A and B are shown apart, each in its own frame.
Chain A
């Protein structure tokens, strides 16, 4: 094909290139963006040859060559692409507003020439908030995508795609709740290699960010409000319902009821609780894509954990999980705050050299634009809480370094509270982002013990309570080498208790 408008060397806006040394010691670099691009990043990934590939909300898919510092055009004209998955050097899968699309460069000139619809078998009401997230792919080649519900702040258009069911809207109190009037809004869909679409899990509100671990477990960050007033990290399992009722109307053999009028106890019984709560306004306001920390990254101390982009803060969060009574639960803690990191952290990916990339977005909210790279400086491991684990009567913190016994065993250095986020229908007059921590109480530590290797601290608390977030702020705690613990706010969600 001709390349009349392929820009071989897009002008680079080099003056935006800066390197910041964050307090924590990670290097944070801006990836220079080409002039003329509105860098609202919907998806990022890496091609087998090491090039960065990114899609942006005005429909471009661009590639960036680190060796030459040049951006090239791979595809254009897409409808709000908010996620991409690299299949090969010449092929990517992009989730657009109306469809999941396979985009191929058949003639090998670096520019896409074939766009194949993998599926468009889901509804569109035309409401602006019906964003689509993903895909991720499992070992069997199935794709998973997540569909946002419609915003209570706007109606739907007069030519929706798919059958309309108004029972997916809270007709008892107007448009106050996010709604699902066309199929599978609020669902995760599984798309088989043959293109069959299987409704997989329901009960989501704003599932901006889907991730998969190496065992094939799918996790989603669902943004707060309506029923649980804080953002959540869900382990997505087939057939499970995650609490926002609108999507239930698209369940097979649904009995026709308006799910907003179903007694809360009935909904509550069906629902699967979040693995981790992100306390709203404290840890996060709008968590986005979760990225599993695989082997061979520049952050080996966190292998097997998750990194989470946060949109409204200059922050990336880390989530650590453990299985208690067969269910995932765990804690969230900042991974990187400020230090040159921008807001808007929407999409995360590891580059071939193991550094972390974050693609940023605004899209009408409080974010930022562009792409940044976060790398560790050499092999230095920074002081962090490596893991926080539940014990029968408290928690066990393991640090990345041997700790200073004096500061780490001082009870006064630990500020502990617990609170909970009940499942309830949000009162009509409450704002979308109102968050109510119920039963906030200070918790007094009874005993602290430091392990012989000085890396693990065991904290004993009074009777632990199920369904509560345990928030720890660790102040003035140092390692033996004198580093101060900076990522010192950590919140553990106790769904299950551990018995001896």
Chain B
């Protein structure tokens, strides 16, 4: 019995193994990319490429002769008004196999026998505009070898960077100038409104100011931001805080005017730069406020200078006694726990010093 089964496997399965193509699954990534950009096949190997479109745009897939990727992209462009009906596939001897345009969620496959000649056989989407960034390569190699990604001309540059992120820890130059604190980015920041400003201060300090709520939301120390995903702009990304957040605002708004318990209405007006530090300008219950936040000279916290020059009523500054900071105010008096009261004259200009309690 055992022998019989063994024989039948030998008889039946072996030929199937020889003929069953190896499946190569290729799908899409956001931003006009194939998920697989480099893989290997043996000369003459039977393959089945299954292409699934998970993007929200249309894509095709053309496997072409070595070195002919760009030529095929250009031939596809020359289809001009005939492009849509031809699935953007030109009639070209450079194309070895092709999958016509498929919609999101659709799959299509082709079965093929890898060329007998070793070489780099690129594949590319020739939907208009896509061909210059959306491509990859099948390396036909007896030893199933592929060259290093960085040296492969048929791998999009974007993917080389993406895959090498972990290898390089040098700080890339983000701008055509050196960034010397203080400087800032308006950006999407986690834990703050969608209109926010991330400010880098000297002493490796930083804070996030919410231009919607018109208040300091949090502060951190250490490295500043990772903007890579945010700048890429194709997903709901944030500029990522890299350091340690040591302070988060826990009061609804620190300033009260006219009534210490009245939650104010605020309007953001903008900012000006004072010694390159932003001084924010906003209205609290219609009263003009200026706020400039600097590092404490010894790096242990923040100095918040307020100017409320044109008002006639007392103001109250609220803070949470349990937010990990100790508070000093240049004038005014502690009215009750977490509430400092300032006269209109005192409020014309005052400084709140916040020092990290745990340092």
Residues of A near any B CB (own CB < 8 A): 1-2, 4-7, 10-11, 33-38, 57-60, 62, 71, 73, 76-80, 96-99, 101-102, 106, 112-117, 120, 124, 126-128, 151-157, 159-161, 279-282, 285-286, 311-313, 343, 363-367, 417, 429-435, 437, 440, 471, 473, 489
A350 to chain B, nearest CB (A): 25
A59-B185, A282-B83, A429-B105 are contacts. A313–B128 as well, Cβ < 8 Å?
A: yes
Which one of B84, B104, B233, B273 lies within 8 Å of A431 (CB-CB)? B104
Q: Complex Cα distance A435/B271, Å?
A: 46
Is B350's beta carbon under 8 Å from chain A?
Answer: no
* Cβ of A36 to closest chain B Cβ, rounded Å: 4
A417-B237 contact, Cβ under 8 Å, with A57-B231, A120-B268: no
CA A4 to CA B197, docked complex, whole Å: 21
Check: B36 CB closer than 8 A to any chain A CB. no
Is B173 in contact with A366, judged by CB distance below 8 angstroms?
no
Q: List, in ascending order, chain A residues with CB within 8 A of B177's CB.
A: 5-7, 10, 36, 73
In the assembled complex, the CB of A10 is this many whole angstroms from the nearest CB of chain B, namely 5
B166 close to A (CB within 8 Å): no
Taking CB atoms, residues of chain B closer than 8 Å to A5 are: 177-180, 183, 276
Expressed in whole angstroms, the Cα–Cα distance for A157 and B269 within the complex equals 24
Closest partner residue, chain B, to A11 (CB atom): B176
Q: A35-B176, A153-B56, A366-B133 are in contact. Are A80 and B194 (CB under 8 A)?
A: no
Using known A-B contacts A38-B231, A80-B233, A433-B127, determine if residue A10 contacts B176 with beta carbons closer than 8 Å: yes
Q: Most A CB atoms within 10 A — which of B32, B55, B186? A: B186
Q: Does B109 contact A (CB under 8 A)?
A: no
**Among the interface residues B56, B103, B127, which one has the most CB atoms of the partner chain A within 10 A?**
B56
Query: What residues of B have a CB within 8 angstroms of the CB of A80 in the complex?
Result: 233
Whether the Cβ atoms of B58 and A116 lie closer than 8 Å is no
Question: Is B153 an interface position by the 8 A CB rule?
Answer: no
Known: A2-B275, A364-B31. A99 touches B195 (CB 8 A): yes
Would B268 and A282 count as touching, CB distance under 8 A?
no
B73-125 residues at the A interface, CB under 8 angstroms: 77, 80-81, 83-85, 88, 103-105
Residues of A within 8 A of B179 (CB): 5
Q: A281-B88, A363-B234, A429-B103 are in contact. Are A98 and B128 (CB under 8 A)?
A: no
Does A153 lie within 8 Å of B30, measured CB to CB? yes
A279 to B57, CA, bound (A): 17
Q: Are B194 and A161 in contact (CB under 8 A)?
A: yes
Min CB distance A315 to B, Å, is 10
Q: How far is the CB of B50 from chain A (nearest CB, A)?
A: 18
Is B103's CB under 8 angstroms from A431's CB?
Answer: yes
What A residues does B30 contact at CB under 8 A?
Answer: 153, 364
Q: Which chain B residue shows the least CB distance to A13?
A: B176
User: Are B227 and A58 interface neighbours, CB within 8 A?
Assistant: yes
B249 to chain A, nearest CB (A): 15
The answer on a CB contact under 8 Å between B58 and A431 is yes
On whether the beta carbons of B175 and A101 are closer than 8 Å, the reply is: no
Q: In the complex, which residues of chain B have a beta carbon less than 8 angstroms from the beta carbon of A112?
A: 273
Whether B289 sits at the interface, judged by CB under 8 Å, is no
A113 near B194 with CB under 8 A, answer no
Q: Please tell me if the beta carbons of B232 and A364 are within 8 angstroms of each other in the complex.
A: yes
Count chain B CB atoms within 10 A of each CB in A312, A343, A440 and give the residue with the most: A312
Q: Contacts A126-B194, A282-B81 given: A434-B88 contact, CB under 8 Å?
A: no
Set of chain A residues within 8 Å of B246, measured between Cβ atoms? none
Q: Please name all residues of chain A whose beta carbon is closer than 8 Å to the beta carbon of B174 when the two chains form the complex.
A: 36, 38, 58
Q: Which residues of B contact A37 (CB under 8 A)?
A: 175-176
